[in-house]
Amino acid sequence: DAMVIQNPRYQVTQFGKPVTLSCSQTLNHNVMYWYQQKSSQAPKLLFHYYDKDFNNEADTPDNFQSRRPNTSFCFLDIRSPGLGDAAMYLCATSSGTESTDTQYFGPGTRLTVL
């Protein structure tokens, strides 16, 4: 089945230790998104790629970086995780950015920072 896959589902890292989260999709969608969601809060968009065009949200900290080596894969790198970065990280895809292009989400990676 076509889907959005995130690995790992749960990630534990230490304060300041770099961590990489991965997302892959079999939907052949042009757009991939990374969101951060903390408990009982709305998802917060960190960045999105339209094909290889990278779009960084103005308030995304420099500590967060992203890579999209090809259509299917996208990575979220957290260079020096702090306690405040503990959250659920959601990857989503859409075929485009038009109004009818629904975003489809992966299962998320829950990050714990010790």
Partner 1 sequence: GQNIDQPTEMTATEGAIVQINCTYQTSGFNGLFWYQQHAGEAPTFLSYNVLDGLEEKGRFSSFLSRSKGYSYLLLKELQMKDSASYLCAVLDSNYQLIWGAGTKLIIKP
Instruction: Tell me which residues touch partner 1 (CB under 8 A).
Output: 40-45, 88, 90, 97-100, 102-108, 110
Least spacing, CB of residue 95 vs partner 1, in Å: 13
Q: Which is nearer to partner 1, 41 or 80 (CB)?
A: 41
Least spacing, CB of residue 8 vs partner 1, in Å: 14
User: How far is Cα 93 from Cα 103, in angstroms, rounded to an integer?
Assistant: 5
CB 82 within 8 A of CB 15: yes
Least spacing, CB of residue 100 vs partner 1, in Å: 7
* Cα–Cα–Cα angle for 27, 31, 33, rounded to 5 degrees: 105
